Amino acid sequence: MKFLFSACIALLIAQFLFANNHKDPRLAKSSREDKSGWIYLHLEGSPATIGYQHGFLAANEIDTTMRAVAYWLKHETNYDWQFFRNAAKSFIWKNIDREYKDEINGIVSGLHAQKKNYDSLDVAAYNALEELAFYYVPEIMNAAKAHSGDNKAPGNCSAFIATGSYTKDGKIVMAHNNWTEYIWGQHWNVIADIVPTKGNHIMMDCMPGFIHSGDDFVITANGILITETTITQFQGFDSTAIPEFVRARKACQYSNSIDDVIKIFVTGNNGGYANDWLIGDTKTNEVAKLELGLKYHRVWRSKDTAMIGSNFASDPELIAKETTFDTKDSTTSPNARKLRMEQLVIVDLKGKLDAESSKKVEGDHKDATQNKNANNRCVICGHIEEDPKGCPEWDCKPFDPMGAVQGKVVTAALAGKMQFWAHMGHPCGESFIGAEFYKLHPEYEWQSLYLKNMISYPWTLFTAKK
């Protein structure tokens, strides 16, 4: 009950602040609604206007999340926030398109209107979180011979995209759950409904203050669907090229076909946040997988397939030359989940995949390596906080509070109405309760400053405003 009370208070505060600033024309077409653990933001207008709306309406959440991110980064990388600001100043900012600079500056203006003291370098570094922390920092360490070179670039998320004989109606179905550290993954709870003056109307999940999805689940009004899973233990980063978060936003905003998506991702690729991108086009009923490293990439396409992602790469050359991942170790999280995803999506549910069955996939707890239900690194709905082995391939220690923090599902029919299902918290329905966890694992109590609980809410259907 107290969680519902807190949510109601937050909503009342947001409504009060909005009402007292309604005379600002930049806010005229925007809105916020708090629902089932999510913050739905409708943003509309020029880049600067969209940014201002975002920064103003989600100021408290942006502030909290950025503090949690900086705190975690300092503890886990030994670099303070100024280091990441310096990286943004040195090479990130210069490689951001003008319209996205304007949007970031708009977010800063919205934050200032709410008395939050951040600048454009803060917001740019925050948007580049994944590529700076897990690709740029390892490159520095490799150059300094500070570690063995066995990069622990994480492999977050479980996902699939299917079409043709693999789905119930023969049309595209796409699903994704986000694996990340709970300390900031609990804040991956924004549904951003963005109507820009140029490009596609898009709806995506994201963290507050992101101009891109970040974990990448996006639908567009012209039928393009995009999601991804990360390539485990990837090595490579080009600081002179275009940041991944810029290409990710641009791909969903300006693509009208699968070819467009691929071209935007490959052009100026910096290797940051190297992913297997799953792409669909409801206009043609075709889906594709773009496996994008730094120097190597490969594309698979079909109108009758189910493509899965659980952080494994598929192209032998990319695996050999740009990763340190062991594809033969069945005990790793990516390989174990790959086996389970193949069982479920490609075999058991072939011809049955729809929204409801996809929700069950995202919350699945069967460990295929043991052929039994479990709460660990090897299940689709990951619970590393209950795994005594942790996840060594991502440098996660035993019982690390990390795993599936939310899920999303869309069908072609839903996408046509600009709708998708979203679930905040573990898709299986279990909640993470900090007090209970820290009692068992006091070695992680340092996270209690920002990680209290991660409540699991019900699946909720979100609809973009037309």
Res. 209: pLDDT tops 70: yes
pLDDT tens digits, 285-310 = 999 999 999 999 999 999 999 999 99
Res. 15: pLDDT tops 70: no
pLDDT tens digits, 181-193 = 999 999 999 999 9
What sections of 282-350 are H helices per DSSP? 316-322, 333-341
Structure token pair of residue 366: 């069967």
pLDDT tens digits, 420-434 = 999 999 999 999 999
Q: What is the pLDDT of residue 445?
A: 98
Q: Which DSSP letter does residue 431 get?
A: P
pTM of the full structure: 0.94
Q: Which residue has the higher pLDDT, 139 or 457?
A: 457
User: What is the pLDDT averaged over residues 53-70?
Assistant: 98
User: What is the pLDDT averaged over residues 62-66?
Assistant: 98
Res. 37: pLDDT tops 80: yes
The answer to whether 190 and 14 have CB atoms below 8 angstroms apart is no
> How is domain 26-466 classified at the architecture level of CATH?
4-Layer Sandwich (3.60)
Q: How far apart are CA 108 and CA 104, in angstroms?
A: 6
Q: Which of 255, 268, 237, 215 is nearest to 95 (CA)?
A: 268
pLDDT tens digits, 115-149 = 999 999 999 999 999 999 999 998 888 777 655 44
Q: How far apart are CA 205 and CA 193, in angstroms?
A: 9
Report in angstroms the alpha-carbon separations of 297 from 123, 225, 277, 389: 29, 20, 11, 32
Res. 443: pLDDT tops 50: yes
| Mean of per-residue pLDDT scores for the chain | 94
CA angle 247-120-406, nearest 5°? Answer: 55
Percent of the chain whose predicted confidence (pLDDT) is above 70: 94
Q: What is the pLDDT of residue 2?
A: 47
User: What is the pLDDT averaged over residues 203-207?
Assistant: 98
Q: What is the pLDDT of residue 376?
A: 97
Q: What is the pLDDT of residue 156?
A: 82
Q: What is the pLDDT of residue 16?
A: 54
Show Cβ contacts of residue 26 under 8 Å, excluding neighbours closer than 6 positions: 45, 49, 52, 53, 56
The answer to whether 243 and 96 have CB atoms below 8 angstroms apart is yes
Res. 64: pLDDT tops 90: yes
Q: How far apart are the first and last CA of the chain?
A: 34
Res. 12: pLDDT tops 70: no
Q: Which pairing describes strands 286-292 and 372-373: parallel, antiparallel, or unpaired? A: unpaired
The answer to whether 156 and 180 have CB atoms below 8 angstroms apart is yes
Res. 451: pLDDT tops 90: yes
Res. 1: pLDDT tops 60: no
Strands (E), 207-293: 217-220, 224-230, 275-281, 286-292
Where does the pLDDT of residue 3 fall: very low under 50, low under 70, confident under 90, or very high at 90 and above?
very low
User: What is the pLDDT averaged over residues 427-451?
Assistant: 98
pLDDT tens digits, 374-385 = 999 999 999 999
Percent of the chain whose predicted confidence (pLDDT) is above 90: 91
Domain ranges of the chain: 26-466
Q: What is the pLDDT of residue 142?
A: 79
pLDDT tens digits, 353-394 = 999 999 999 999 999 999 999 999 999 999 999 999 999 999
Q: What is the pLDDT of residue 146?
A: 57
Q: How far apart are CA 202 and CA 415, in angstroms?
A: 10
Least confidently predicted of 9-13, 132-136, 227-231, 286-290: 9-13
Q: What is the pLDDT of residue 312?
A: 96
Give the burial class of 351: count Cβ atoms within 10 A of its Cβ; 0-12 exposed, 13-18 middle, 19 or more buried. Answer: exposed
Where does the pLDDT of residue 155 fall: very low under 50, low under 70, confident under 90, or very high at 90 and above?
confident
User: What is the pLDDT averaged over residues 397-410?
Assistant: 98
